Structure 1
């Protein structure tokens, strides 16, 4: 299969919509990461997503909508709190989990009786969804387990020959996937299942908000999880990743220099002194780190790194999302200095 990259235009969106209506898969830009999109109501089309990614079948897909009518068509119940959150955060990087209607096939939901829904903050993708007339199931457009793509070139590196079209909407604004929540206490409370740039602190202004244990821990092997991006090893380059927790630039430099064997890289905030191994900065703020993380992890592979030690971000606010992704990229390997 030939894979083409095209800048968004009315004609390209029409082409993409026709491909999706025929049951094909198209890579789309969003504000979070690039998505691999198919008709969410078409189980055969969604099977192609799993095949292209090499994704486990029990890892549910998020469906992307362009208006609240699509939400009402797809889910059985919408708590008033969900409508309040939609008013404040949609279009945007918040995914909410609802009991699904039968129109959403088990292929899309990963065999669950719930479905994850969001409205992306990308005008071209919203127009494409409207042109398709159905929600689009769209996990990240990468091979399963590898770092999520934040540019069309990242998508092409993983999906060349697997899908017909990549819509090149430029670099993604946020750089990490959406926040995923479910509702607790009869629809009046919030539980964060996967952190993102919409933080628990932001959500707590609207309702009692808790963070699920699996945000910072590995789920039990047989545990059924209702959020994507939780159960399996994710976001990982070929280089072996380890998180380094330290408040000391000196201890970080001493540790990294002890690993200076030619195949080691340090992924640092930037500005740390005395480090002799090659380094890549992923930013000094949580927002910068979220934006740059996946591109930097991919960069370690481009540079031929055998291992990379990543300085741990702050574990608050958006830093929670960065830390969550790093834990899974590192298979939870952490060294505290």
Structure 2
């Protein structure tokens, strides 16, 4: 019997005992443990195969818990928490001394977020503390957006997966650094940068590389969110030519496109992606998972539009890709 349930009592008991629980958020499903217990957090790293120096985000019920985990909290943090919490925004702040190195990757900062999913919000309110919860998948693999995805990733090794239905955002949270004088966009995500800038009244610095930001934060490695089947990205015309060549070589090809196709591509299974950025983000990971595995030898994905609305989608596609076609 699959360990998928909506039993908050069972989830609470497991977390209080130092065990792991799969939890839904509006962004992606998380693999949660008591953030105050290094032994519990270590189980996340072991199950995911995650590098020990890679920090995890602490999920809390709301702004009232900010000061439990962070110190020297700037006014900007309170403004953003008031505007976007609960929601898909993570704030990087100076950590309190008691915050375990297991959570922060040994840095003097901590990432904090109050998720909006009602099931996990209720769990956090009952739990009272913080839950370390990176995405519930093997490190570097495509993030899960349903409870079934989590089960497919870990099977019965995970004692409980809370089923909150499909994620409504579908890509990870926006991460904003607030440890320097100027707010920094460290990872685009569910909250648009323009909305954050409107609240703060300043433009965000955008660091696409973690090395330039001088911070390690979740989801910024060059290779991340990747299907196990090779994923090539490029303009539709290049993908059509690639699909034909690979079909001639006897390969099984999936072509994921958003532009209108005048005719089917010989030998390729074609899948139309949504036309707007929000719907595309919601569908991206599920689509990659659907076409991953033994069905195809290669996945060909049409490069999404290069506009501000598509920033988070393009960030995830860039890190998931095995290569690019001109």
Q: Is the 8 A contact 1:27 1:155 kept in 2?
A: yes
Pairwise CA distance, 1:232: 5.5
Residue 144 (structure 2) aligns with: 149
Pairwise CA distance, 1:303: 5.8
SS of the equivalent of 1:60 reads: coil
Residue 272 (structure 1) aligns with: 261
Pairwise CA distance, 1:208: 2.1
In the alignment, the residues of structure 2 paired with residue 253 and residue 296 of structure 1 have an alpha-carbon distance, to the nearest angstrom, of 19
Counterpart of 2:230 (choices 223, 234, 240) is 240
In the alignment, the residues of structure 1 paired with residue 106 and residue 237 of structure 2 have an alpha-carbon distance, to the nearest angstrom, of 50
2:299 is the alignment partner of 1:308 = yes
In the alignment, the residues of structure 1 paired with residue 99 and residue 40 of structure 2 have an alpha-carbon distance, to the nearest angstrom, of 12
Residue 335 (structure 1) aligns with: 325
Report the CA distance shift for 1:39/1:292 in structure 2 as closer, same or farther (over 3 A): same
Provide structure 1 residue ranges, at least 5 long, that are not aligned to the other structure.
Answer: none
Per-residue CA deviation, residues 115-144 of structure 1 (Å, 9 max, x unaligned), is 000110111111111111111110001111
Q: What does residue range 4-15 of structure 1 map to in structure 2 within 5 Å?
A: 4-6=3-5, 8=6, 12-15=7-10
2:190 is the alignment partner of 1:200 = no
SS of the equivalent of 2:233 reads: strand
SS of the equivalent of 2:184 reads: strand
Report the CA distance shift for 1:109/1:303 in structure 2 as closer, same or farther (over 3 A): same
Q: TM-score, normalised by structure 2?
A: 0.92
Q: Is the 8 A contact 2:94 2:179 kept in 1?
A: no
SS of the equivalent of 2:145 reads: coil
2:273 is the alignment partner of 1:282 = yes
Q: Is the 8 A contact 2:63 2:78 kept in 1?
A: no
Pairwise CA distance, 1:262: 3.1
Counterpart of 1:129 (choices 100, 124, 133) is 124
In the alignment, the residues of structure 2 paired with residue 231 and residue 262 of structure 1 have an alpha-carbon distance, to the nearest angstrom, of 30
Pairwise CA distance, 1:233: 2.3
Q: Is the 8 A contact 1:95 1:116 kept in 2?
A: yes
In the alignment, the residues of structure 1 paired with residue 179 and residue 10 of structure 2 have an alpha-carbon distance, to the nearest angstrom, of 41
2:216 is the alignment partner of 1:229 = no
Q: Is the 8 A contact 1:314 1:320 kept in 2?
A: no
Residue 253 (structure 1) aligns with: 240
Count of aligned pairs: 320
In the alignment, the residues of structure 2 paired with residue 122 and residue 175 of structure 1 have an alpha-carbon distance, to the nearest angstrom, of 12
2:71 is the alignment partner of 1:90 = no
In the alignment, the residues of structure 1 paired with residue 143 and residue 277 of structure 2 have an alpha-carbon distance, to the nearest angstrom, of 18
SS of the equivalent of 1:278 reads: strand
Counterpart of 2:104 (choices 109, 112, 116) is 109
In the alignment, the residues of structure 1 paired with residue 274 and residue 88 of structure 2 have an alpha-carbon distance, to the nearest angstrom, of 21
2:263 is the alignment partner of 1:263 = no
In the alignment, the residues of structure 2 paired with residue 185 and residue 24 of structure 1 have an alpha-carbon distance, to the nearest angstrom, of 35
In the alignment, the residues of structure 1 paired with residue 170 and residue 106 of structure 2 have an alpha-carbon distance, to the nearest angstrom, of 28
